[in-house]
Amino acid sequence: MPAFPQRAVIREVGLRDGLQSIRTIVPTERKIEWIGDAYAAGQREIEAGSFVPARLLPQLADTAELVAYAKTLPGLFVSVLVPNLKGAERAIETQADLMLVPLSASRAHSLANLRKTPEEVVDEVARMRAARDAAGSKTMIEGGIGTAFGCTIQGRVDHADVLRYMQALLDAGADRVSIADTVGYAGPAAVRALFEKARDIAGERFWCGHFHDTRGLALANVYAALETGVARFDATLAGIGGCPHAPGASGNASSEDLAFMLADMGIDTGIDIPALLTLRAKLAQWLDGETLHGALALAGLPVTYETITAIEA
Amino acid sequence: MPAFPQRAVIREVGLRDGLQSIRTIVPTERKIEWIGDAYAAGQREIEAGSFVPARLLPQLADTAELVAYAKTLPGLFVSVLVPNLKGAERAIETQADLMLVPLSASRAHSLANLRKTPEEVVDEVARMRAARDAAGSKTMIEGGIGTAFGCTIQGRVDHADVLRYMQALLDAGADRVSIADTVGYAGPAAVRALFEKARDIAGERFWCGHFHDTRGLALANVYAALETGVARFDATLAGIGGCPHAPGASGNASSEDLAFMLADMGIDTGIDIPALLTLRAKLAQWLDGETLHGALALAGLPVTYETITAIEA
């Protein structure tokens, strides 16, 4: 049986992928409280927002301010999503630690959502890399390949397409690559197969999996990915977010459920789960009326939880 | 990487483990419709109920009638739960294909719930085996080891205890053994570790995993179990059931979500998922007001589902 990583990172993307699909606009001071509390609970990688025009995503208009605050927290690795060169220039200006550039492996989804072909996104990444290097910036570039397990528009997406775009992103100057199940089509056998091939191509530069829980498989997918050696996962507190193509369905992998699964597996995330659950309760108040997800908050930690952590320590 | 089984069985336990923890009493004619529709949707193993005194579980008082009906369906393997020799005698009389005898690996849980020590349950299994053989009956005996991953009363349960009771059950004459996460404490690393050891002891006689989704890990646990070669899982339609110790929490692994995961993995279950979803919609009407679970019914099948099944066929 394959070994599991000893440590794993839960990258909190609730402030971006979660809030962008929620009606409620969360005030900047609340978001700062969220980042501060997540940091206090041990989270060390947070996606603060997205550098897209404020008219498109008013919920994320305060991204620069959030990056500035997050950068004051020692050891916090701060990422942002950027759709194009203009966004990348803002990420470089704000000294974000990483900018994530989405590419859709489904051509149909790429044209519908990004209004670019996947090849045009690869070209844009080359321009971002040039801009980054010219500025003497340390902001890393991550190419995030979405709709990697299928797409509601195009249907089937071949692994060969995903891997070809992964190689192209690396060739264009991406420092890191990741794979996202944008619409919740991934199952664990497909994850294991695709992630193994991706590791063969990109090695340690393939570093993150992004799963939605649309059909209840997010945590099974994480488990399958862990067996391939991948040890970084996007997740959102209370599983907020979700797929506009599947109304009523679950959102992202829930940070707290994922933290519990990893702790139970003896994999160190550095996260204080009770503190994270306290933050989740705050978030539930801030998002009053929105649909939240995640099983742990309902069930509570097992009575054996202290034993689990005692064994690890 | 370990191979997956080519086929797997979803044993529908909704009529027993689901209904026993639900307030609504479902009339016998509805249960017969459920069994008939589940059979038509391709399910070939169904737990019809439990031979316990009707005053304890009035919802399951019609178990003998359900077994009689289920036995008329060609190729349907019909199981019942029996807590003691008296229940076993009824299972033998009704010619059920299998009787499941629960044993709690947690001594505290065993005393609180079964009013017997685990050793007394083992002795009872020996008496059931003698009665079965004396009657010339073909009803198989399955020893189901519950609270195998921990317990709300006792806390930690050692793998060594679970494996010791497994050996004792086999020695006492059980034809099959299985492991249940009665309270939803299992995580996939623990499942992998315990199931590997159980297969070493019991081989093919260790044949079933029973997971609750209390903390969102039921499907990840199934995936881990599949890697150890186990290919039979208890599940309930709409994930009904659940743990009285975790009010509000999710119930059993949901049959329809599990069927989808297995189909997506290319593992044949013989189940027609759209037909199962139609039955689930009926169940939702019958159980109006009760909490149902499962993600697939909300999200629907992916547009690629036809492709998945076409590739398999």
Give per-residue pLDDT as tens, B142-184.
999 999 999 989 999 999 999 999 999 999 999 999 999 998 9
Confidence (pLDDT) at B307? 62
Q: How confident is the model at residue A246 (pLDDT cuts 50, 70, 90)?
A: low
Quickly list DSSP for A42-63: T--EEEEEE-S-TTT-GGGTTH
Range A9-38 average pLDDT: 95
Confidence (pLDDT) at B24? 86
Range B199-218 average pLDDT: 96
CA distance B80 to chain A (A): 29
Q: Is the pLDDT of residue B309 over 90?
A: no
Give the chain B residue whose CA is nearest to the CA of A216: B295
Fold of B9-312: TIM Barrel (3.20.20)
Residues 2 through 31 of chain B touching chain A, CB cutoff 8 Å = 2, 4
Q: Is A86 on the interface with B (CB under 8 A)?
A: no
Q: Which residues of A touch B257 (CB under 8 A)?
A: 215-217
Q: Which residues of B touch A217 (CB under 8 A)?
A: 219, 257, 261, 264
Q: Is A268 on the interface with B (CB under 8 A)?
A: no
Inspect the interface and report whether the beta carbons of A298 and B249 lie closer than 8 Å.
Answer: yes
Q: What is d(CA A114, CA A84) in angstroms, rounded to the nearest whole number?
A: 10
CA distance A239 to chain B (A): 12
Inspect the interface and report whether the beta carbons of A150 and B304 lie closer than 8 Å.
Answer: yes
DSSP state of A217: -
Q: List, for residues A183-192, the tens digit of each pLDDT value.
A: 899 999 999 9
Q: How confident is the model at residue B54 (pLDDT cuts 50, 70, 90)?
A: confident
Q: Which residues of B touch A243 (CB under 8 A)?
A: 299
Q: Is the pLDDT of residue B249 over 90?
A: no
CA distance B175 to chain A (A): 28
Confidence (pLDDT) at B306? 75
Terminal C-alpha separation, chain A: 25
The CA dihedral of A26, A32, A35, A41, to the nearest 10 degrees, is -110
Inspect the interface and report whether the beta carbons of B295 and A185 lie closer than 8 Å.
Answer: no
From the list A185, A217, A304, the residue facing B219 with the nearest CB is: A217
From the list A156, A183, A302, the residue facing B150 with the nearest CB is: A302
Residue B305 vs residues A151, B275, B309, B312: alpha-carbon distances, Å: 11, 14, 6, 11
Q: Is the pLDDT of residue B127 over 90?
A: yes
Q: Which residues of A touch B4 (CB under 8 A)?
A: 189
Q: Which residues of B touch A189 (CB under 8 A)?
A: 4, 264-266
At A48, the amino acid letter reads A
Neighbours of B134 (CB within 10 A): 9
CA B151 to chain centre: 18
Q: List, for residues A150-162, the tens digit of each pLDDT value.
A: 998 999 999 999 9
Q: What is d(CA B214, CA B235) in angstroms, rounded to the nearest whole number?
A: 13
Q: Which residues of A touch B184 (CB under 8 A)?
A: 299
Cβ-proximal residues to B169 (8 Å cutoff; 6+ apart), any chain: B103, B122, B125, B143, B145, B177
Q: Is the pLDDT of residue B312 over 70?
A: no
Domain boundaries, chain B: 9-312
Quickly list DSSP for B266-297: T-B----HHHHHHHHHHHHHHTTTS----SHH
Cβ-proximal residues to A203 (8 Å cutoff; 6+ apart), any chain: none
How many CB pairs lie under 8 A apart between chains A and B?
144
Q: What is the mean pLDDT of chain B?
A: 94
Q: Is A193 on the interface with B (CB under 8 A)?
A: no
Rg (CA), chain A: 18
Which range, of A96-100, A180-184, A245-249, B176-180, averages the lowest pLDDT?
A245-249
CA distance A300 to chain B (A): 8
From the list B4, B188, B196, the residue facing A265 with the nearest CB is: B188
Confidence (pLDDT) at A312? 47
Q: Is A250 on the interface with B (CB under 8 A)?
A: yes
Range A292-308 average pLDDT: 88
Q: What is d(CA A275, CA A43) in angstroms, rounded to the nearest whole number?
A: 11
Q: Which residues of B touch A4 (CB under 8 A)?
A: 189
Q: Which residues of A touch B219 (CB under 8 A)?
A: 216-217, 219-220
Q: Where are the alpha helices (DSSP H) in B94-243?
A: 107-109, 118-134, 159-172, 188-202, 218-227
Q: What is d(CA B8, CA A176) in angstroms, rounded to the nearest whole number?
A: 38
* Residues A152 and A104 sit within 8 Å (Cβ to Cβ): no
Residues 95 through 124 of chain A touching chain B, CB cutoff 8 Å = none
Which range, of B112-121, B222-231, B300-309, averages the lowest pLDDT?
B300-309
Nearest in space to A241 (alpha carbons), one of A303, A298, A290, A178 = A290
Burial letters for A18-36: b for 16+ Cβ neighbours within 10 Å, e otherwise?
A: bbbbbeeebeeeebbbbbb
Q: What is d(CA A272, CA B43) in angstroms, rounded to the nearest whole number?
A: 43
Q: List, for residues B55-105, the tens digit of each pLDDT value.
A: 888 999 999 999 999 999 999 999 999 999 999 999 999 999 999 999 999
Confidence (pLDDT) at A54? 87
Which range, of A53-57, A168-172, A185-189, B220-224, averages the lowest pLDDT?
A53-57
* Residues B12 and B45 sit within 8 Å (Cβ to Cβ): yes
Inspect the interface and report whether the beta carbons of A215 and B303 lie closer than 8 Å.
Answer: no
Q: List, for residues B258-305, the tens digit of each pLDDT value.
A: 999 999 999 999 999 999 999 999 999 999 999 899 999 999 999 988
Q: What is d(CA B95, CA B102) in angstroms, rounded to the nearest whole number?
A: 19
Q: Which residue has the higher pLDDT, A62 or B57?
A: A62
From the list B150, B214, B295, the residue facing A215 with the nearest CB is: B295
Mutate to test the interface with A, among B6, B106, B221, B223 (most CBs of A within 10 A): B223
Give the chain A residue whose CA is nearest to the CA of B221: A220
Confidence (pLDDT) at A313? 43
From the list A215, A224, A295, the residue facing B223 with the nearest CB is: A224
Inspect the interface and report whether the beta carbons of B304 and A156 lie closer than 8 Å.
Answer: yes
Confidence (pLDDT) at B23? 85
Q: What is d(CA A224, CA A9) in angstroms, rounded to the nearest whole number?
A: 16
